[in-house]
Amino acid sequence: MEDLSRLFRLAAEHAADYRRSLRDRPVGVPVDRTALAEGFGGPLPAGPTAPKRVLADLLAAAGPGLVASAGPRYFGFVVGGALPAATAADILAAGWDQLATNAVTSPAAVAAEAAAGVWLKDLLGIPSAASVGFVTGCQAANTVGLAAARQHVLADAGWDVERRGLPGAPPIRVIAGEERHATIDRSLRLLGLGADVVEPVAAGPNGAIDLGCLRDVLRAKPTGPTIVCLQAGNVNTGACDQLREACDLARRHGAWVHVDGAFGLWAAASPDTRPLVDGLDLADSWACDGHKWLNLPYDSAFAFCARPEAHAAAMSYSAAYLVGSGGASAGADLTAESSRRARGFAVWAGLRELGRDGVAALVDRCCALARRFAEGLAAAGFDVANEVVLNQVLVGFGDDARTERVVAAVQADGTCWAGGTTWRGRRLMRISVSNATTTEEDVDRSVAAITRLAA
């Protein structure tokens, strides 16, 4: 037992040392992938290795390939850090090794999810009666939300898709913005609807759907089983669809509305940005990430559904050995997993650490820092290509080839890290400010480095 304490303490100390180093270490480091593979490689050992030695070997092997994405100057993709209490809670979740399937396998895990679910709905302005599934990421949350949608719109048409499947079912219409996230298409493929089912809706100048086009697309065919996918937080521009108006239009056609709000739904947590997602409560299902803007450790996301019965009908499972041992619907009935880890502890801890005001401040700070980025880079003569409404900034440095060179130079330099993207046919640098530890000084240092490298 003494050895176990030492081993766990060593792991936690290494993690803390690593976190402390993030502010100063180069954000992008050149990685020798062959050496990295060799560090982990070699034949499977025939016999056992002492845990202490395994930990030492892992530290040595992984170290050179770690990305400082949890640090304050990592602006790639939409990546948050991991709050201290949430990280500590995740360490405990691993140590406790709880099975979050239901209230028998871990009453504590189920209770933590229930409490965190109430807080999440409160913060996001989602109806309190909604069900919540704790899933791996927004990809999974989109799949769960759209599975509930599929179940409900077909049940309305007199078809039990959970029993009969899709062969012979009434056709389902899926209407989604042309700027939807690619995970929506994968969810549709997994649900047997196929990516080609999408009837695209054109986007306006900043990437939110054009309401007139949504109206036209809805009217183009007679009413029937219909799902409308809306978005809060365009992954390039941060733009949010006009949810109130779009939900009203969809409702008039009897459609189910699913909102992909991986990071943008957090706009609801601050009074300053809440108008961007006005009307979100009118939707039927919502997908939202915890590991992006809420700064929870991976992997953590939420599938909310205003119709718990459709949610459970789509996702629940039963087996003889579960009967009489689980009770009411819990974890396993609201996600696509049976056995899974207890990610609710970290969600609860992160929300408790920040509190309502802390979440609002996190959102406001990231938005203010994104504007600071845009102003700094515009002042240096570069082209900010989007309207900065949230935490995303797109920047051009001349033609596509020149922008690519600047992105590559910034990634090699190590002061900060930002990726490239294509938006409206142009290659651009994409900057996402999503980390709870980023400061004005971090942004100013990054703007200075980008300006220097672009010159």
Residues that bind ligand PLP (CB under 6 A): 78, 137-139, 181, 183, 231, 233, 235, 260, 262-263, 289, 301
The answer to whether 167 touches 214, Cβ cutoff 8 Å, is no
The CB-of-136 to ligand PLP minimum distance in angstroms stands at: 7
The answer to whether 366 touches 388, Cβ cutoff 8 Å, is no
The CB-of-260 to ligand PLP minimum distance in angstroms stands at: 5
Name which of 78 and 366 has its Cβ closer to ligand PLP. Answer: 78
The CB-of-181 to ligand PLP minimum distance in angstroms stands at: 3
The answer to whether 347 touches 86, Cβ cutoff 8 Å, is yes
Name which of 231 and 295 has its Cβ closer to ligand PLP. Answer: 231
Name which of 262 and 393 has its Cβ closer to ligand PLP. Answer: 262
Name which of 181 and 372 has its Cβ closer to ligand PLP. Answer: 181
The CB-of-82 to ligand PLP minimum distance in angstroms stands at: 14
Which helix or strand (DSSP H or E) is residue 232 part of? none
The CB-of-135 to ligand PLP minimum distance in angstroms stands at: 9
- Per the DSSP assignment, residues forming a β-bridge with 229 are 176, 258
Cα separation, 66 vs 29, in Å, equals 9
Residue nearest to ligand PLP (CB): 137
Sheet bearing 198-201, strands edge to edge: 131-135, 301-305, 285-289, 256-260, 226-231, 173-177, 198-201
273 φ, ψ to 5°?
A: -100, -10
CA 175 to chain centre: 22
Can the peptide bond before residue 32 be classed as cis, meaning omega within 30 degrees of 0?
no
At a CB cut-off of 8 Å and minimum separation 6, what does 69 contact?
76, 79, 417
The pair of three-digit structure tokens given for residue 265, joined into one six-digit string: 């739904």
The pair of three-digit structure tokens given for residue 257, joined into one six-digit string: 């509305």
The CB-of-284 to ligand PLP minimum distance in angstroms stands at: 17
CA-wise closest residue to 116 among 147, 89, 139: 89
Name which of 140 and 449 has its Cβ closer to ligand PLP. Answer: 140
Strand bridging mode 131-135 / 173-177: unpaired
- Per the DSSP assignment, residues forming a β-bridge with 175 are 199, 228
The CB-of-133 to ligand PLP minimum distance in angstroms stands at: 14
The CB-of-370 to ligand PLP minimum distance in angstroms stands at: 15
CA-wise closest residue to 374 among 359, 390, 361: 390
Residue 182's CB: how many other CB atoms inside 10 A? Answer: 10
Name which of 87 and 187 has its Cβ closer to ligand PLP. Answer: 187
The pair of three-digit structure tokens given for residue 41, joined into one six-digit string: 């490689």
The answer to whether 148 touches 333, Cβ cutoff 8 Å, is no
The answer to whether 75 touches 25, Cβ cutoff 8 Å, is no
The answer to whether 263 touches 234, Cβ cutoff 8 Å, is no
Name which of 260 and 442 has its Cβ closer to ligand PLP. Answer: 260
Name which of 245 and 299 has its Cβ closer to ligand PLP. Answer: 299
The CB-of-78 to ligand PLP minimum distance in angstroms stands at: 5
The CB-of-292 to ligand PLP minimum distance in angstroms stands at: 6
The answer to whether 186 touches 176, Cβ cutoff 8 Å, is no
Name which of 147 and 447 has its Cβ closer to ligand PLP. Answer: 147
Name which of 203 and 235 has its Cβ closer to ligand PLP. Answer: 235
The answer to whether 264 touches 206, Cβ cutoff 8 Å, is no
Residue 183's CB: how many other CB atoms inside 10 A? Answer: 19
Name which of 130 and 176 has its Cβ closer to ligand PLP. Answer: 176
